[in-house]
Chain A
């Protein structure tokens, strides 16, 4: 133990490692604070939904109540959905800044609504967020390089290496020295994270997984530094080589792979789905209304016993052709989604060979801020939209009036029935 203490004292006397560790800890704390603030902001935005929504829906209810037409209720009522950040989201904000985490939908064609975005400043999103994932993936390796590039070469250049190697405990000495620096590097990242995770209420198992991930990623860079150190180059050459490796592994290969993946896995453009859906929806005005209803009933036989259409406009026909429009692009939507998932899988597969990508992928997965989480949110929107449609169909296809009180009966996002 005293030897560890001596090693610690020795470290404290060196300016570079102490400064590097303090700076890394400070950056980690700053990034965690930014992440926690951002997640708090997102939660506040979600918490502000009910008040705004109540005001909006009250106005709709007031005017729908005059005629009690369920179609008007369905047409004018927007229903909020939201995707609350997971406890760990503060550590890796992932896609949450460019994908909406609040989206209002109505019972009309969903494909014209579900791809909408929220307001965000693209110039702020462009460089990426300053979150814990960034500090870990991008910055921590640079600090590892600063701490480890001259571990042996420094002693050699000071003329002490031979003497140290001649000691009977040489191996344990090097191990102790490496171990101490590694533990400190890990602590500079891990301790602030652990505190933030405790504040955010992250499940202990998840927090532990992240702490292990930090250790593994640091270990990779320490190992790389040790490998380069074995070449017995000068400290300068070691530093230059490691920094070049950082550049290649963290910046160049991921950006090149992004180009390669997008070229190798083309996705049908989302805009084509939107255009096809609009065409399918609007065509209904130019074809016999009975055709539309037949098609709708073929897909949704539970409403087929509804009264036939009269000569006047009826909203059940309107909603039916919106549903038909969605149904007609369903295969395209599946293909589009499969394309996005294939790209995501390819990116993640790269993570097996590229630690930087692997760590980013794992962190965003644990934090539920990646594409999979966005698609899961979309699935929840789709399920909610099904409930919305069924709810309004129950009035429209049975010709039941829709009064003010019925607005309170509309399905609410987030409290799915147990089934």
Chain B
């Protein structure tokens, strides 16, 4: 048996005898199990609820009576963001974004009813999820168990004794690394077991799960190395503990809050009121359907009449009002795309700034990795928003075309008592409308999105290992 293994065994035996260490480890394991169970139950509950709501919304849409197509444009439809299986591991921004959207003509509504506005103030203290336990809590446990690994030996003079007996510095450090690494594995194991259990769900993808598992492995390994590094460098055990807790507080608690605030101040977002007013202004410039003398709509009308070779809209074989609706929806949707594109680009820039802060705090990097792989980051929400807008536009235009083809211009303009009946099209049309189906991203897309965070964590790990090997060479030297 090598010296390193012996030292690892000895360290683990010491930890086993340390009642506080054992209790703390057991508590962490229990906490992780609770987190896995509640988070999973929560995710399943939400997924069921949203599926039920989605079903109810689709049923309501299809159960509509005979209606004028434009009524259906305003009746609109509700869609709900589905939740991927890995959201049970890391729900990311799910609670902070609205998860239901009302889709209707002429308007782009916000996603509403996020959990953050439906929960008590405690929601801002963080969410108990396996990801939270691994990112924030587990490193602190490792600090408590490992800060003294080398500092203690030096403080008590046992390090010299070991070296006098011919144990190399490298063996000592490797042994301690092994021991603390095993503790880290024990701490991370329940979360990984839950992770694998979640993988049994339909829709779970191998590639992002692999990146997530490797990412957390590297993250915990990084903490193990950093703990030993500080323990090797600092003269007293107490100083090692305080320094490590300070490093932890700065990287895991402070920076993840400071970075977003800086990013938010650096890249301001246009608020909804200003966006709506700007869209209305642009819309008026492009073509004002309320203005009878508007050049855009005058030209549009002339073009339509010329295309059909008639001189009056009444003589068109199609309903001109429907065509006008198609045109006005086309114009407004283009503006919605432009403005939401600008807003999303600004938010992406904010997130890029925060991600850059991952260079200072591996906790930020692992969070980005974890959310990206789970598809619960802003990019995941944006996928939903983009698909929702595409679906909204297609649905509204289908209805507008229906108005053009199935409702005659004469009926549409009539106001006699029977006109309301003649304007309506058959309810069978609503049943023929396709439902919203969220196209989930492929595993490769999610895994690729997680790579930058993974790279940063690996870079940190490499740097820490390098520093530890340098510190090892000077371990136990005269001071």
A residues bordering B, Cβ < 8 Å?
16, 27, 30, 34, 37-38, 41, 45, 48-49, 52-53, 55-56, 59, 63, 78, 80, 94-95, 98-100, 102, 104, 112, 115-130, 134, 138-139, 142, 146, 150, 234-237, 239-241, 243-244, 247, 250-252, 254-259, 261-263, 267, 269-272, 274-275, 278-279, 282, 285-286, 311-313, 340, 343-344, 346-348, 350, 356-357, 360-361, 364, 370-371, 374
Contact = CB atoms under 8 A, between A and B. Distances in A.
Interface centre among B99, B272, B273 (most CB of A within 10 A): B273
A259 B118 contact: no
A360 B238 contact: no
6 contacts: A56-B280, A102-B271, A104-B276, A122-B114, A134-B257, A343-B118
Contacts of B74: 282
B318 interface: no
Contacts of A102: 271-273
A132 B53 CA distance: 40
Contact of A269 (B49, B75, B144): B49
Given A122-B93, A270-B112, A45 B57 contact: no
Contacts of B80: 271
Contact of B256 (A127, A278, A343): A127
B260 A127 contact: yes
A404 B242 CA distance: 70
A218 B280 CA distance: 52
A119 B270 contact: yes
Where chain A touches its partner, the secondary structure class is helix
Interface stretch (B122-130, B205-213, B300-308, B456-464): B122-130
Contacts of B119: 258, 261-262, 343
B56 A275 contact: yes
Question: Top 10 closest A-B pairs, CB basis?
Answer: A347-B120, A254-B125, A122-B93, A270-B113, A258-B122, A124-B260, A255-B128, A122-B96, A271-B100, A130-B257
B377 interface: yes
Contacts of B270: 119
B67 to A, nearest CB: 7
A243 B381 contact: no
Nearest to B31: A252
Given A104-B273, A258-B123, A236 B148 contact: yes
A357 B125 contact: yes
Interface residues of B, number: 100
Interface in B327-353: 343, 347, 350-351
B198 interface: no
B271 A45 contact: yes
Interface of B: 20, 24, 31, 34, 38, 42, 49, 53, 56-57, 60, 65, 67-68, 71, 74-76, 78, 80, 92-93, 96-100, 102, 109-128, 132, 136-137, 140, 144, 147-148, 237-238, 241-242, 245-246, 249, 253-254, 256-258, 260-261, 263-265, 268-277, 280-281, 284, 288, 290-291, 343, 347, 350-351, 354, 371, 377-378, 381, 415-417
Contacts of A56: 276-277, 280-281
B260 A258 contact: no
A255 B127 contact: yes
Contacts of A120: 269
A52 B121 contact: no
Contacts of B97: 122
Contacts of A247: 137, 140
Contacts of A348: 120-121
A311 B418 CA distance: 9
Nearest to B75: A282
A347 B140 contact: no
Given A122-B97, A124-B350, A254 B126 contact: yes
A126 B136 CA distance: 14
A311 B417 contact: yes
Contacts of B354: 123-124
Given A63-B288, A125-B96, 10 more contacts: A95-B116, A102-B272, A121-B350, A126-B93, A127-B256, A130-B257, A139-B254, A236-B148, A269-B49, A285-B68
Contacts of A100: 272
A350 B120 CA distance: 11
